Amino acid sequence: MSLVETLPASQRDILLKVDNISLSFGGVKAITNISFDIRVGEIRAIIGPNGAGKTSMLNVINGFYHPQEGTITFEGVPRPRMRPHHAATHGVARTFQNIALFRGMSTLDNIMTGRGTLMKRNLLWQALWTGPAEREEIEHREAVEKIIDFLEIQHIRKTPVGRLPYGLQKRVELGRALAAEPRLLLLDEPMAGMNREEKEDMSRFILDVNSQFGTTIALIEHDMGVVMDLSDRVVVLDYGKKIGDGTPDEVRANQDVIDAYLGVPHE
Amino acid sequence: MLYREAGDFKTSYRADQQTFPIRSERILFWAFIVAAFAVVPFFINDYWEKSVLIPFLVWSMAALGLNILVGYCGQVSLGTGGFMAVGAYAAYKLMTAFPEMNILLVIVLSGGVTAVVGMAFGLPSLRIKGFYLAVATLAAQFFLVWVFNKFPWFYNYSASGQITAPERLLFGVPVTGPNSPPWATYLVALTVVFVFAWIGKNLTRGRIGRQWMAIRDMDIAAEIIGVEPLRAKISAFAVSSFYIGIAGAMYFTIWFGAVEPTEAFGINQSFRALFMVIIGGLGSILGSFLGAGFLVLLPVLLKNLMVGQLGWATDIASHFEIMIVGALIIFFLIVEPHGLAQLWRLTKEKLRLWPFPH
């Protein structure tokens, strides 16, 4: 185990810091004045009721939305306004709430596309194929096969993803995000619509990604059991405002969070 | 028997990602190519050249180009005729300005000129999608044809407004102009199409091809995982126009020899190429050839059958020809909306199991 992993989450370096982010669409305020940070190597959950601004927050982090106010600091450097593909080349990958795979392509091609940011050969080399382009392709194929092994999807390697069941599609999507070797992985409801077994599999993959690859993860999830078990720290949003932030135990005890989201168990 | 993958094990990624992973398919392909290069030239005559093989090859080239844009990158274009015109006029200007230039170089450079024009007309694709983009590319179609009619510089101020390809030799044999032997023009067209089909396959199976398909299947997700839409779309327009430009250059230089823009490169040609890729199979190199074959060869076959064999009057035969081809297009699209290439793929799936389907 590396030193980073042995430290408790509170003492690790900060990977990403968002300061006073506000985002509005016309007159609708999606996010109001939110600040939090994500530390290196932790699993950070973002929870809250529907419409709380969780997905908007992820969209801000990977450059898809541009907040009107506030700053984002990634790896100690304040980040300028950027396009999503820049965020991808700077080590931020994500999955989507509704599966956003490339349906006409095979599992293998989907995950290979995720490695596009790491491949360098230009159009002319690729037109020739034989030589450098083929070598590069094989090199990256090996890396992708490791991910395929890791996610246990060898048997669907060449199947068009449109034909796969939902749970497997979610897994392929995780594979596509992992292929880019991100330093920060954003997961938007990785377990939505899954049965218990699939959720357990996905939880295991998330923990393994975190411990084996050392990837920092920020995830949105509605299954409180999963969130409390998986995450090191949780940030709670409601109506675009932050109402809680801390370890799962701290959040669970926070009265605002209970009122807005968790509720109280029936006697 | 014909098509077996049993015992054909892959032990390297290189073997696994080859174009024809199954051995019998590979043998069939190369046998076909050898026949096309080494046998056909000995038997080809003027009729087979000008009415069958050259039209098929030229249209295959155009369909390949359009398939890269529409089938692989998902950007609908109705500007094919206009881009073919750019290829043809670029070839004409190059041939007349540099008489010493090798004809193959002329054809490839014409593709390059068309690529630049195509990139310019591809810029709207960054803002608009689908049918709206199709309408925007229609502007290219009409604008380009208008330009070639309007400015006499393009047709070297000839009185008729036509352009005529001067005779050019390749290895001492004329390949353009009226004196070119059928086998020579056929071999030039075949070589160009073979090389660029191979390049097309290479491009579409690598990183760039995957990025095109990612843009086609889900553009927002593609951008978020690191595909730059500007590069992907403009490169698709460039490569596609390059191919279509080469098709246009061949259409002018080795097929017709003399063209006039309004008729030769009108909107009908744009539709024709688009039908080819839809019928043949979007996102398939083979599909481009099948689609071109369907729309070029079938009418010839029907005409021979009805006029040659049955002895019908030419005008009645031509009406029937249009009706039959139209009906077949509808039939094939109902049976298999993903085109002839998909039919071929399904046939292969069946052959893999034949004769024991369970």
The ipTM of this complex is 0.88
At residue B350's C-alpha, the angle toward residues B349 and B351, to 5°, is 95
Region B235-247: mean pLDDT is 96
**Which of A117, A126, A138 is the closest to B13 by Cβ?**
A138
pLDDT(B1) > 60:
no
pLDDT(B155) > 50:
yes
pLDDT(A193) > 90:
no
Instruction: Tally the C-alpha atoms within 13 A of residue B349's C-alpha that lie toward its C-beta.
Output: 7
Residues A47, A96: Cα–Cα separation, whole Å: 15
Domain range annotation of chain B: 46-266
Better pLDDT: B208 or B180? B208
C-alpha to C-alpha distances, B131 to B78, B108, B166, B189, B275, nearest whole angstrom:
10, 31, 40, 33, 16
| Cross-chain residue pair B214–A88, CB shorter than 8 Å | no
A77 in reach of chain B (CB within 8 A): no
DSSP assignment string, B306-319? IIIIS---HHHHHH
Report the interhelical angle of B130-150 vs B267-280 (nearest 10°): 140
| Cross-chain residue pair B218–A142, CB shorter than 8 Å | no
pLDDT(B320) > 90:
no
**Which of B199, B211, B223 is the closest to A127 by Cβ?**
B199
Summarised one tens digit per residue, pLDDT across range B275-318 is 999 999 898 999 999 999 999 998 888 888 888 888 888 888 88
A101 in reach of chain B (CB within 8 A): yes
| Cross-chain residue pair A104–B206, CB shorter than 8 Å | no
Band of pLDDT at residue A2, cut at 50, 70 and 90: very low
Q: Which of A59, A96, A112, A113 to mutate to test the interface with B (most CBs of B within 10 A)?
A: A113
Region A242-263: mean pLDDT is 86
A185 in reach of chain B (CB within 8 A): no
| Cross-chain residue pair A119–B207, CB shorter than 8 Å | yes
pLDDT(A3) > 60:
no
Comparing A57-66, A127-136, A177-186, B55-64, the range with the smallest average pLDDT is A127-136
Partner B, chain A 117-176, Cβ-Cβ below 8 Å: 117, 119, 121, 123, 126-129, 133-134, 137-138, 141-142, 145, 176
- Closest chain A residue by Cα to residue B223: A85
Q: What mean pLDDT is reported for chain B?
A: 89
Q: What mean pLDDT is reported for chain A?
A: 88
Region B96-113: mean pLDDT is 93
**Which of B207, B213, B283 is the closest to A126 by Cβ?**
B207
Better pLDDT: B7 or B172? B172
| Cross-chain residue pair B208–A126, CB shorter than 8 Å | yes
Better pLDDT: A261 or B283? B283
For residue B176, which phi and psi values (nearest 5 degrees)? -125, 165
What domains are there in chain A, each with its CATH number?
1-91+182-267 (3.40.50.300), 104-180 (no CATH)
Which residue's entry shows tokens 């077949």?
B328
pLDDT at B179: 82
Summarised one tens digit per residue, pLDDT across range B325-340 is 889 888 888 888 888 8
pLDDT at B2: 60
pLDDT at B214: 93
